[in-house]
Amino acid sequence: MLQTEYPFTLPKGFQDAEGNLHREGTMRLATAADEISSLRDPRVRENPGYLPVVLLSRVIVRLGSLDALSPDLVEGLFTADFQYLSDLYEAINRVEPAEVSCTCPHCGEVFRQPVNFI
């Protein structure tokens, strides 16, 4: 079964206006719609560096007792937490390189070889 949601624990945590610290959360896999909608966001069009903020606000499905994160909330994260979430996003959405099993015609050794599509 395909895993689509990934739990995480922030290194620092987000402290809300009431003083509650939110560290445990869940991030889901990104969809094409997440990427496309984020690119259409006026803040991203004005400043492409804002793209990770919008993307993270779309794919984090829970942070502590918070069920929805706005881009403003993501902006308020500590740098260590923002970097942690960005790295997690990249890790779970990365396309693994395709490989094929090969056998050396000279010695018979079996090995994995990356496939280049270009």
pLDDT tens column, 57-85? 999 999 999 988 999 999 999 999 999 99
Q: How far is residue 72's CA from residue 41's CA, in Å, rounded to a whole number?
A: 14
Q: What is the mean pLDDT of residues 79-98?
A: 90
Residue 9 has pLDDT above 80, yes or no: yes
pLDDT tens column, 18-30? 999 999 999 999 9
State pTM to two decimals: 0.79
β-pair type (21-28, 5-15): antiparallel
Q: How far is residue 39's CA from residue 44's CA, in Å, rounded to a whole number?
A: 6
